[in-house]
Structure 1
């Protein structure tokens, strides 16, 4: 398949309407005809919030994290005082954006000196606001003072539509959701301060004109912006501002559309990403909380059915023992509703909240920090309990999740109705007692050296087979692969006699074929890989948990701490060695890990037998 044909076929898969929306948006900005370039707003004036009349639930515990330390991408950076952050500088390097006083569309997407613009946006997402609101809701007047002072300072540095923090409609949307949740924590959703409503309206004006561009992405941009329009618009309406009417209606329309289009019937989400799945789910949870708060009409039954399925998908794919899960797909470190001091990689607070909202049942029966969002947001813990997760196949999204005692295995196979962000077909994750023994690399950064942009999303960073040193799909741009893979010979999930199994395969655009079958039984995992159609070599990789691994090339085995992995093959192995690899469990942080590479130079079958001491 030549490159022109790959690009044409990929464009068709993206969808003509979406391509048209993107083209129209870019033309509008370039020509100056987009209405977003002609906005104006009065600089909102504080104070924005006051102390609540009634204080929070006594079981609700405010975060110590963002209240005491600056935090970015799930990691603490430094002690936090009363001084506001540098809003238009990188939160990691403190390097400022050049010309930050300009209109947002005049500021380039990539600044060589600053690096990843997400480091500029991070503090302007207002995570700190939720921590301040929690402490204020417990009667801390200093927290309220910080909350108002920082908002004033933010607006002086970021007046409406000026500077990098107005560049992205999704970033503006996250601010709206956090403003709304702060108002809910403080009991100030109605009777809101006029300056706060001015701030909300300024954000609505920024989000609305570019909402079609967000929808063209078919990802979390659309769900976030639809949520913000609904929340912000109805907030204005509830405070007798008629401008909110149209925002509410547009937001409701797109929320229904995004739930129906982007969430599959089995709960899989369009981005094929664990963390972006949480971003989407938290957005819908905040929407439903807000709808109930204002006693607004319910959404459609299909909306609730799709979001409930998305909640179950996340519950089934994560570890109940610690809330962690596979580093699946793109991961930018986002956590939209940080009301607890749990680790960023602990998904249980989001899962518990969504389970209560959309299933009227608990995901976790025990008491724990995962209940804190419920205490803060005025929800009652239901008596009903969801059943323990079992082995499941999410065929619409392309996932097997096999469960046997403390062992959980994920097999990822290609069902790409939407654009894939990583070349991870037939990747396997293995978890034992909440520990990730065979693991995905993650993302690291969207704006870094080319070698890392190639490495982390590439086939080399996954537990699968790589053919002839190339990715499973050709890369067309920073965020786009072409020649999307299609699954072949998908075997259904089989649960029988204490065993769980599944399998799938594909043929890539150059004719290479890979079929993988997994069988989980007791304390063993057997993986069978059948490969053919490649020109020179096929390399099987197993990305191992960091530790002291020993290797026996003659026995074709690596092992450590009661865990062994043995590879056998009917064809000769050209190479069996441990090499250095990388992973990124937190955005913009990478750490080394050992990787077993097994190479063959002719078609054949590779069998990997993995055993561990019973836990």
Structure 2
């Protein structure tokens, strides 16, 4: 448009929709939950203090004459000379993006994501992770359940496989394996498929296992209902943010981080265990953390996570 060639209405419509998705999934610090590969690459960052999401979102909003995500006008001023409107946060409630593969809940500082999309983009899905039906949970500035991030690309093959594998994500694994089959550090072979199933979503593993998950938010409680076939080897996994403290007592686990306390209670499990893991808040920056793990003993399992400040 700067060169005098107006963009098609369909282009503006899709870009406006992408801005609203970014608004819904945006975290309080301007970042987004870690999903799939993230190498923190950049060509030009007009303001080192602002997130890429806010910078690009503000520039896009100024072009669309829409509300930006955060107050980060540097790139908008550089590209168009327009500062645009004042920023606007997403409303509380449930934000559904069935074609993109995400549902996001925002409730009085509670932020929950549910990933029910395909493995990755196109035939290669090169930067995808085997994380179908995974969740992330945070309260205000306190991350609780997280994606473990991108530990490595080429420099550490074991860590590369580990961060892409299903057990690195807050979902269900069968026998510690992955939903889809890795073929090297970026490619995939046989893949799991995900489809809507009633009030939830079902992941059918490449190896034939089935996992159905539904997520409900009620006030300060996150309820997760899982149905698995077969039951043998099915395990619940919840990676925790670095800095979290966890205690277990049978089927109850208490996680404390910052000013937030999350109480995990599940039926049809053997009992919670705590295992050490690595989490990468940024590409290649490894930090020690832990995960909650529990063997599922029935075909159906309900986990309640009560969150208090």
Both proteins in one fold, TM over 0.5? yes
Alignment of 1:116-195 (within 5 A): none
Residues 103 and 114, structure 2, Cα contact 8 Å, conserved in 1: yes
Unaligned stretches of 5+ residues in structure 1:
1-290, 492-501
In 1: Cα distance, 2:78 partner to 2:282 partner: 27
Residues 567 and 606, structure 1, Cα contact 8 Å, conserved in 2: no
- Structure with more relative contact order (C-alpha pairs < 8 Å, separation 6 or more): 2
2:113 maps to what in 1? 410
Give the superposition deviation at 1:323: 0.3
Question: Are residues 380 and 316 of structure 1, via their aligned partners in 2, closer, same or farther at CA, if it must alter by over 3 Å?
Answer: same
Q: 2:278 aligns with which of 578, 582, 585?
A: 582
Question: Are residues 474 and 435 of structure 1, via their aligned partners in 2, closer, same or farther at CA, if it must alter by over 3 Å?
Answer: same
Alignment of 1:173-572 (within 5 A): 291-292=1-2, 295-319=3-27, 321-342=28-49, 347-358=53-64, 360-364=65-69, 368=71, 370-383=72-85, 388-390=90-92, 391-415=94-118, 418=122, 419-420=124-125, 421-491=128-198, 503-533=200-230, 536-560=232-256, 561-570=259-268, 572=269
The one-character-per-residue Cα deviations of 1:304-346 (angstroms, maximum 9, x if unpaired) are: 2222222222222112x31022111111111343010225x56
Residues 23 and 89, structure 2, Cα contact 8 Å, conserved in 1: no
Partner of 1:326: helix, strand, or coil? coil
In 2: Cα distance, 1:550 partner to 1:330 partner: 27
1:612 maps to what in 2? 307
Residues 511 and 533, structure 1, Cα contact 8 Å, conserved in 2: no
Give the superposition deviation at 1:384: 7.4
The one-character-per-residue Cα deviations of 1:75-94 (angstroms, maximum 9, x if unpaired) are: xxxxxxxxxxxxxxxxxxxx
Give the superposition deviation at 1:507: 1.6
Instruction: Provide the TM-score with structure 1 as the length reference.
Output: 0.46
Question: Are residues 479 and 364 of structure 1, via their aligned partners in 2, closer, same or farther at CA, if it must alter by over 3 Å?
Answer: closer
Give the superposition deviation at 1:364: 4.5
Give the superposition deviation at 1:548: 5.0
Larger Rg, first or second structure (1 or 2): 1
Residues 225 and 303, structure 2, Cα contact 8 Å, conserved in 1: yes
Question: Are residues 346 and 612 of structure 1, via their aligned partners in 2, closer, same or farther at CA, if it must alter by over 3 Å?
Answer: farther
In 2: Cα distance, 1:585 partner to 1:313 partner: 22
In 2: Cα distance, 1:362 partner to 1:333 partner: 25
In 2: Cα distance, 1:356 partner to 1:555 partner: 50
Large movers: runs of 4+ above 4 Å: 383-387
In 1: Cα distance, 2:178 partner to 2:15 partner: 33
The one-character-per-residue Cα deviations of 1:236-281 (angstroms, maximum 9, x if unpaired) are: xxxxxxxxxxxxxxxxxxxxxxxxxxxxxxxxxxxxxxxxxxxxxx
Residues 356 and 381, structure 1, Cα contact 8 Å, conserved in 2: yes
In 2: Cα distance, 1:400 partner to 1:505 partner: 14
In 2: Cα distance, 1:337 partner to 1:313 partner: 23
Question: Are residues 439 and 385 of structure 1, via their aligned partners in 2, closer, same or farther at CA, if it must alter by over 3 Å?
Answer: closer
Residues 423 and 473, structure 1, Cα contact 8 Å, conserved in 2: yes
Partner of 2:190: helix, strand, or coil? coil
How many residue pairs end up in the alignment?
Answer: 302
The one-character-per-residue Cα deviations of 1:18-58 (angstroms, maximum 9, x if unpaired) are: xxxxxxxxxxxxxxxxxxxxxxxxxxxxxxxxxxxxxxxxx
How large is the Cα RMSD of the aligned pairs?
A: 2.3
1:258 maps to what in 2? none
Partner of 2:217: helix, strand, or coil? strand
Residues 118 and 132, structure 2, Cα contact 8 Å, conserved in 1: no
Give the superposition deviation at 1:385: 6.4
Instruction: Provide the TM-score with structure 2 as the length reference.
Output: 0.88
Give the superposition deviation at 1:383: 4.5
